[in-house]
Amino acid sequence: MNGLIVINKPPGISSFRALSPIKRMLPKKTKVGHTGTLDPFAEGVLVCLVGGFTKLASAALGHEKKYLVTVSLGKQTDTLDPTGITVKEGPVPSEDDLLVMLDQILPKYHGSICQTPPAYSAIHINGKRAYQLARDGKDFSIPSRDVIIHQIDCRGIESGEIKLFVHCSSGTYIRSIARDIALDLGTCGYASQLKRLDAGGFSLEE
């Protein structure tokens, strides 16, 4: 049994758990995987691979993705998402000021950019996952990486929150974009909501 299933993952569960209903419907020992993890707090497109299609996972991981992210300004969490604890707070500019500043700031995030992934991420540091080191309170640094932002637009500002559409290359951390844009706005922030609209050409409508 081979195939591909596009899942609309709900927020609050891991990508691994999102595959459980499919595993229960398939014959035992059927291989099931996906083409790219979504954080538990995030929702949206998760491409599930079944049977022989799981061999395509490594190739599919390099595909572009599209997101809608809500950046909450005024505080930053250690995980850069709503599951973490507040580690920093700052003033929130007015909506008029945010509009003016975003017009100047967002072009900086278009094209090839260098970003530092979050401490709470699955990146390997000396053989261990970064999030494991962070949970253990270890002191470590994560190398910056180059990623490509094909498009980034503001889709709304309300009550200290900015909604952004991001079309990016594989390996881009949207939580890092939320953190960095907030800093450029003279405050701090985190990704409070994240929806993946498209992964490798498979859309939420599917």
Q: Is 39 a catalytic residue?
A: yes
Nearest to 169 by CA among 67, 79, 81, 46: 67
Q: Which residues, in sequence order, are CB contacts of 10 under 8 Å at separation 6+?
A: 18, 43
Radius of gyration of the chain from Cα atoms?
18
Instruction: Tally helices (H) and strands (E) across the chain.
Output: 6, 13
DSSP 27: P
In one-letter notation, the amino acid at residue 103 is: D
Buried b (16+ CB within 10 A) or exposed e, 25-47: eeeeeeebbbbbebbbbbbbbbb
End-to-end CA distance of the chain: 21
Residues labelled catalytic: 39
